[in-house]
Chain A
Amino acid sequence: MVRFKNRYVLCEVVSEDPRCRQCIEDRAVGLAVRDAIGRVHGDFGLACCSISFTVKYLNAYTGTVLLRCRKDSYRLLCSALPFVRQLESRNQRYPCFLNTLHVGGTIRTCQKFLIEYNRRQLLMLLQSCTNEDERRCVQKSLLSCSLTEEQCLSGNEDDDD
């Protein structure tokens, strides 16, 4: 069968400025990534990657961004992500960078990866807790997301290639 294959790139927005979180919106991130692709790969790269380009999911609290593009141009997109240096929205710009976490063929594989990644991040946060309140909060979230025995039996899903 002939169908359009996509690649979903999962990244994390990292910034030293805490005010950058309010700037993380889909339009701002989309524009910043498009602008970086235009600078690095020119008109041809910009047009190639824009064919099926959207910001599929965004989480401003954790800074997680899920981008979609065509399978033929995902390498252009991934190579241009390190050149995103600032996010701009409502006439305010904040320096930041994008960390690529995972590239998957479907949203489902990226979601599975993100769940595992967040679990590991919670464990690391627990180790770096500074006071008792934080420790109790993180421990509560960890307990609520750990698998019990019944939940361990999850079936295999067909993945896109």
Chain B
Amino acid sequence: AASFERRVLRSAGEHHYLRVRLELPDGGARPNVAQFKQLVVSALKELHGEVGAALPVDVLTYEEKTLSAILRVVSSGLVKLWSALTLLGFYQNRRCAFRVLQTSPFLLALAGNSRELVL
């Protein structure tokens, strides 16, 4: 009888992708893409210091109208980024909140969202 060997690789790829939306309930000027990235990096810097601010985070897409973006981060930094986004409270002295809508180690998985499925 032949013997089989099964290999399971648990590495989920080197990047994680997050679809986030910034909520500004008090209205006002909307940040452009550079200010958005500056906001993300400053959130990391507050919670995780220089090491956090040096984490390679990329803004892949940004829509100024809905203030939603797709962020890419190295997999080892996902916890740091997500916790920093969660604890960010203010943007230019206005209240703000980050809502994480989808997250996946594969960018393609962010294309389909069963929450917005219209049956």
The chain A residues found within 8 Å of chain B, CB to CB, are: 37-45, 79
Interface of A is mostly: helix
Q: Does B50 contact A (CB under 8 A)?
A: yes
Known: A41-B48, A44-B83. 16 other contacts (CB 8 A): A37-B49, A38-B49, A39-B49, A40-B50, A41-B50, A41-B51, A41-B52, A42-B44, A42-B46, A42-B48, A42-B52, A43-B46, A43-B47, A44-B47, A45-B48, A45-B51
Question: Looking at B45, B47, B49, B52, which has the most chain A CB atoms within 10 Å of its CB?
Answer: B49
Instruction: Jot down 16 A-B pairs with beta carbons below 8 A, ordered by A.
Output: A38-B49, A39-B50, A40-B49, A40-B50, A40-B51, A41-B48, A41-B51, A41-B52, A42-B44, A42-B45, A42-B46, A42-B48, A42-B52, A43-B46, A43-B47, A45-B51
B45 (CB) vs chain A CBs: closest residue: A42
Q: How far is the CA of A135 from the CA of B48 in the complex (A)?
A: 50
- Chain A min CB distance to B84 (Å): 8
Instruction: State the CA gap A37–B45 with chains docked (Å).
Output: 12
Cβ contact within 8 Å between A44 and B50: no
Q: Which 8 A-B pairs have the closest CB atoms?
A: A42-B49, A41-B49, A42-B48, A40-B49, A42-B47, A40-B50, A44-B47, A43-B47
Would you give the shortest CB distance from B83 to chain A, in whole angstroms? Answer: 7
Taking CB atoms, residues of chain B closer than 8 Å to A38 are 49
Please indicate the chain A residues that have their CB under 8 angstroms from the CB of B49 in the complex.
37-42, 45
Residues in B whose Cβ lies below 8 Å from that of A37:
49
Closest to A43 in B: B47
Contact with A along B41-75 (1 / 0, CB 8 A): 00011111111100000000000000000000000
Among A37, A38, A41, the one with the most B-chain Cβ atoms within 10 Å of its Cβ is A41
Chain A residue contacts of B52, Cβ below 8 A: 41-42
